[in-house]
Amino acid sequence: GENVEQHPSTLSVQEGDSAVIKCTYSDSASNYFPWYKQELGKRPQLIIDIRSNVGEKKDQRIAVTLNKTAKHFSLHITETQPEDSAVYFCAASISGNQFYFGTGTSLTVIP
């Protein structure tokens, strides 16, 4: 089955700096890649996603890039703010049926 690896497991950045989280996947059939943000004690919330026919997608300060050849995708957060502090999960899916999650990255934005 699919195997998703996520790095780093923890990340601390100064407010205003950028944060990058990277994921790799193993199954070339995966074609949908969502990113979730989970605040302490809350449910994971979708923040951005990308499909395999697109190389990059942006939504304000958040962007995701996908390299299908290398089988990796990344989350980029620019101009980080304290409220960006949370655990971020990447996932890979084949046609949106079964989802395989990374192990999570705990992001801390230092004011």
Amino acid type, 105: T
Q: Report in angstroms how near the CB of residue 106 gets to other proteins at its nearest.
A: 8
Rounded Cα gap, residues 103 and 30, in angstroms? 18
Rounded Cα gap, residues 101 and 2, in angstroms? 9
Nearer to other proteins, 57 or 78 (CB): 57
Nearer to other proteins, 74 or 88 (CB): 88
Q: Which residues bind other proteins (CB under 8 A)?
A: 32, 34, 36, 42-46, 49, 89, 91, 93, 95-104
What token pair was written down for 91?
């996932």
Q: Report in angstroms how near the CB of residue 103 gets to other proteins at its nearest.
A: 4
Q: Report in angstroms how near the CB of residue 93 gets to other proteins at its nearest.
A: 8
Q: Which residues contact 93 (CB under 8 A, 6 or more apart)?
A: 30, 31, 32, 33, 34, 99, 100
Amino acid type, 3: N
Nearer to other proteins, 77 or 102 (CB): 102
Nearer to other proteins, 49 or 78 (CB): 49
